[in-house]
A = this chain, B = another copy of it.
Amino acid sequence: MKRTAIGIDIGGTAIKFGVISDAGKVLHHFSRITEASPASISGIIQEGVKAILDSNKQRNWRIEHIGIASPGAVDIDSGIIFGASPNIPGWSGTNLKRIVGIFGYPSYADNDANAACLGEMKVGAGKGFRQILFVTIGTGVGGGIVINGNIYRGANFGAAEIGHAIIRPGGRRCGCGNRGCMEKYASVTGMIATAKQILSRRRKGKLWRAIRANLANLTPEIITAEFRNGDPVAIEIIESQAEALSQGVAGALNLLNPEVLIIGGAISEAGTGYIKAISNAIIGKTFPAATEKLKIIPARLGGRAGMVGAAYLGWILPAN
């Protein structure tokens, strides 16, 4: 029988479910739309797990545990979420382990960016590295830190909050209560906001035609496609995003001096041109000794990183 685990990744728009082998293979996966209330989310998670367990009667997986990744700071011992998770009102205080505890499997929980970082470290771009800074660009900008081969969570499970570095004092208002946080400029939503500002002034070019002169049609995929096509406006948008990201990331690189910076999330799929834009933006912002041997590479697991990492939690954390 294959050793497997169930991995669940709660995102702002979708909840992803997977059955993952201990070699990191995704054997089975599906997703459900995230609903706004904590009770509905708990219900969706329980139905999803039940569907996997029911279907397993005809399969050959030895499911060893269930792991859940969620936005917010997560106490990995108790499974309780605390701190702000602006995308899911009322989510703070939820006990993630208890949601899946009814099925009788050992259960594990972690912050979603930590889980994605773990997934990349075990079976993705981070394989073989022991000092990693992982940055994932989505609705927000999440971070994960690997120190001596282990995820670093800080004194109170609040570490790696790279998205809330203030890069524009007095700038765009952030859900965390401050202004000018890096993620308001470097996240997908931040990039779209910047794109709207730039396109309102410069109503021409390939990107402008691709969205049929309608700002509501802007998506990260369209922007990155026209960036690859060499559209000057798309290049300006991506460079502005890369500049904001690198400003927040540079301080983190000076502090952590990792072997590798792994960039995940939708924008990282813009290709080698994007990684080059990021590298250029980082040069001139970091202290030489901290970054002269640094590798900058895109993530490999795409949107599955959090789900895969959640499944891995039970294979790296002490049993409970």
A153-178 Cβ-contact flags toward B at 8 Å (1 or 0): 11111111110111001000000111
Binding-face segment, A198-206, A250-258, A264-272 = A250-258
A231-257 Cβ-contact flags toward B at 8 Å (1 or 0): 000000000000000011011101111
**A285 on the interface (CB 8 Å rule)?**
yes
A277-313 Cβ-contact flags toward B at 8 Å (1 or 0): 0000000111111111100000000000000000000
A177 touching B84 by the CB < 8 A rule?
no
Complex Cα distance, B250 from A225, in Å, reads 36
A61 to chain B, nearest CB (A): 35
Residue of B nearest to A165 (CB): B251
Residue of B nearest to A160 (CB): B255
**Which B residues are CB-close (under 8 A) to A154?**
131, 256-258, 290
B250 touching A166 by the CB < 8 A rule?
yes
Complex Cα distance, B291 from A158, in Å, reads 8
A49 to chain B, nearest CB (A): 27
Residues 54 to 79 of chain A near chain B (Cβ within 8 Å): 72-73
Most B C-beta atoms less than 10 A away, residue of A145, A252, A257: A257
| A287 and B255 contact, Cβ closer than 8 Å, known pairs A154-B131, A156-B293 | no
A257 touching B177 by the CB < 8 A rule?
no
Residue of B nearest to A294 (CB): B155
Residue of B nearest to A257 (CB): B154
**Which B residues are CB-close (under 8 A) to A155?**
130-131, 257-259, 293
Listed from nearest, the 8 A-B pairs whose CB atoms lie closest are A154-B257, A83-B289, A158-B289, A158-B257, A73-B289, A158-B290, A159-B257, A165-B251
A285 touching B166 by the CB < 8 A rule?
yes
A17 to chain B, nearest CB (A): 26
Most B C-beta atoms less than 10 A away, residue of A152, A164, A176, A292: A164
**Which B residues are CB-close (under 8 A) to A256?**
154, 159, 255
Complex Cα distance, B288 from A238, in Å, reads 30
Complex Cα distance, B285 from A284, in Å, reads 24
Most B C-beta atoms less than 10 A away, residue of A147, A158, A250, A285: A158
A247 touching B166 by the CB < 8 A rule?
yes
Q: Given contacts A155-B257, A177-B288, list 7 more A-B pairs with CB under 8 A.
A: A84-B287, A147-B147, A156-B257, A158-B290, A159-B290, A161-B287, A252-B255
**A18 on the interface (CB 8 Å rule)?**
no
